[in-house]
Amino acid sequence: MSKYYITTPIYYVNDKPHLGHAYTTLCADVLARWHRDRGDEVFFLTGTDEHGAKVQQAAEAAGLTPEEFTDKISQTFKQAWKILGLSHDDFIRTSQPEHQQIVQELLQKIYDRGFIYDGEYEGLYCIGCEKFLQIDDLINNVCPLHPKDKPVKQKEKNYFFKLSAFREELLNAINQGKYQIVPEERKNEIVGKLKKGLDDVSISRSEVSWGVPIPWDKTQTVYVWIDALVNYYSATQFIQKAKGFWPAQVHLLGKDILWFHAVIWEAFLLAAGLDLPKVVAAHGFFTVDGQKMSKSLGNVIDPADLIKQFGLDATRYLILSQLSFANDSDISLARFRERYDSNLANGLGNTFSRVTNMVEQYGIKKSSPVRGSIDDYINSLNFNGALNYIFGLSREIDQSIDNHKPWLLFKAGKIDEVKIFLGESVAKLQLVAELLLPFMPETAKTIQRALFADKITKAEPLFPRLTN
């Protein structure tokens, strides 16, 4: 039994949860369930990122105090994850006093070790990204991820973290596999950028009051990204069940926030003398008509709407099978619908009713279990690959029914042959259910209950046909 600590990014509470957030959290859920099933000791953490200018502005716009506003929106995230059937062990909020205390302790430690100094910073700040932009980041003078918000010129006294001091150590750590960045292309990007050079980063704000005060200078608050990254570690210090889980096995995130997770966070941990996480894994974006799905672009799909239309497990399937972890993927409701019809209602659901129906009619001769594994897919974070493999097995069962035509064999009096064939089909379908458990837990259990019953009877449809 080994310890497996998995995290998702903590989400900004200026926004309600959309499919992009749901994807990362669902991937983490699958990994957490899969590891629990293998007997690993799992801690799965998600949560909300509640400080900073962006949240402060959103609260003001809603006419609420930041506390009232963050209480409300963090609830929305909790609720969304509940209806998606997520199995996280805790939900951290950066406004929790215990977290804030650990942020301050870590910062003080790094300050005492001489890695923080004060200086002045001038640059273009994107509130949407909560970061200073480099000239290379701009397209037509705006941030491509937040084209509607003009970057603001900011000049202020800040505290700086000596990120530049860690360039060599980070490159060595990556080369020696002390931590892994996956997929490979993303690792190459990070290594390429590190080789070009590394600037120090500002880690405090004088104008943002909604944040954790800098312990040695209460006129400044901690830069929201530093505050947020520390959640991964702080959870293991104050959440009872998470104690002893640092370092994380995997930080899962989207490619837009890889630099923070694969460079700044590691340097920060090195500066504090803490262990590095084992894997930092970045996935691509969901796009709609080629544009990143985001609130600021106004093209979001709410996972709750998908659940209303397709049901919980079908939604989990549709989201996870649509994106190949490493790449961007364009999605549309019409394509979800097509996939539901072909792979669920007419696919797995149909195969399941065919098999149970025939067993009820013709009987069964039990066959030995069929083995198969998705370990390689899971270990390489290839979730849609795993689902393709599992649904391929289900299609094979269906095709072999078409080929064998048990109803003709039965008519011809070959009863034993039919029973043996059905025994084998049931065994394969049991494997499908077992492999599906982390992805579609309720569906998998329904199939297992039906197929491990003393007497197999024709089952209710797993995925009702859609009427509109």
Is 21 marked active-site?
yes
Among 4, 5, 6, 10, the residue binding ligand MSP under the rule CB under 6 A is 10
By rule CB under 6 A, what string of x and - marks binding of each residue 59-98 to ligand MSP? ----------------------------------------
Q: Which residue is nearest to ligand MSP (CB)?
A: 254
Q: For residue 158, what are the β-bridge partners?
A: 119
The answer for residues whose C-beta is within 8 angstroms of residue 203's C-beta and 6 or more apart is 107, 116, 158, 159, 160, 161, 222, 223, 226
Q: What are the tokens at 462? A: 């797993």
**How far is the C-alpha of 372 from the C-alpha of 393, rounded, in Å?**
10
Among 256, 302, 330, 417, the residue binding ligand MSP under the rule CB under 6 A is 256
Q: Does 253 bind ligand MSP (CB under 6 A)?
A: yes
Catalytic residue, from 27, 131, 143, 283: name it. Answer: 143
Is 99 marked active-site?
no
Q: Does 227 bind ligand MSP (CB under 6 A)?
A: no
Is 51 marked active-site?
no
Cis? peptide before 406, omega within 30° of 0: no
Q: Does 17 bind ligand MSP (CB under 6 A)?
A: no
| 114-122, 169-177, 248-256, 365-373 -> range binding ligand MSP (CB under 6 A) | 248-256
**How far is the C-alpha of 346 from the C-alpha of 337, rounded, in Å?**
12
Least distance in Å: CB of 406 to ligand MSP? 45
Q: Does 286 bind ligand MSP (CB under 6 A)?
A: yes
| 238-246, 290-298, 303-311, 452-460 -> range binding ligand MSP (CB under 6 A) | 290-298
The answer for residues whose C-beta is within 8 angstroms of residue 3's C-beta and 6 or more apart is 40, 41, 43, 244, 245, 249
Closer Cβ to ligand MSP, 254 or 438, answer by number: 254
Among 21, 35, 205, 428, the residue binding ligand MSP under the rule CB under 6 A is 21
Q: Is 378 strand, coil or helix?
A: helix
Catalytic residue, from 162, 255, 278, 295: name it. Answer: 295
Among 83, 138, 191, 257, the residue binding ligand MSP under the rule CB under 6 A is 257
Q: Does 23 bind ligand MSP (CB under 6 A)?
A: yes
Closer Cβ to ligand MSP, 143 or 253, answer by number: 253
Least distance in Å: CB of 292 to ligand MSP? 5
Closer Cβ to ligand MSP, 98 or 168, answer by number: 98
**How far is the C-alpha of 89 from the C-alpha of 400, rounded, in Å?**
42
Angle (CA) 195-196-201 rounded to 5° is 100
Q: Does 49 bind ligand MSP (CB under 6 A)?
A: yes
**How far is the C-alpha of 185 from the C-alpha of 210, rounded, in Å?**
37
Rounding to the nearest 10 degrees, give the CA dihedral for residues 241, 77, 31, 464: 130
Q: Does 294 bind ligand MSP (CB under 6 A)?
A: yes
Q: Does 11 bind ligand MSP (CB under 6 A)?
A: yes
Q: Which of residues 398-417 bind ligand MSP (CB under 6 A)?
A: none
* Range 55-58, long-range pairs (CB < 8 A, 24+ positions): 55/12, 55/13, 55/14, 55/210, 56/208, 56/209, 56/210, 57/14, 57/127, 58/13, 58/14
**How far is the C-alpha of 298 from the C-alpha of 288, rounded, in Å?**
10
**How far is the C-alpha of 267 from the C-alpha of 113, rounded, in Å?**
13
Number of Cα atoms under 13 Å in the Cβ half of residue 409: 18
Q: Which residues are marked as active site? A: 18, 21, 126, 129, 143, 146, 292, 295
Which residues of this chain interact with ligand MSP, rule CB under 6 A? 9-12, 20-21, 23-24, 49, 228-229, 253-254, 256-257, 285-286, 292-294
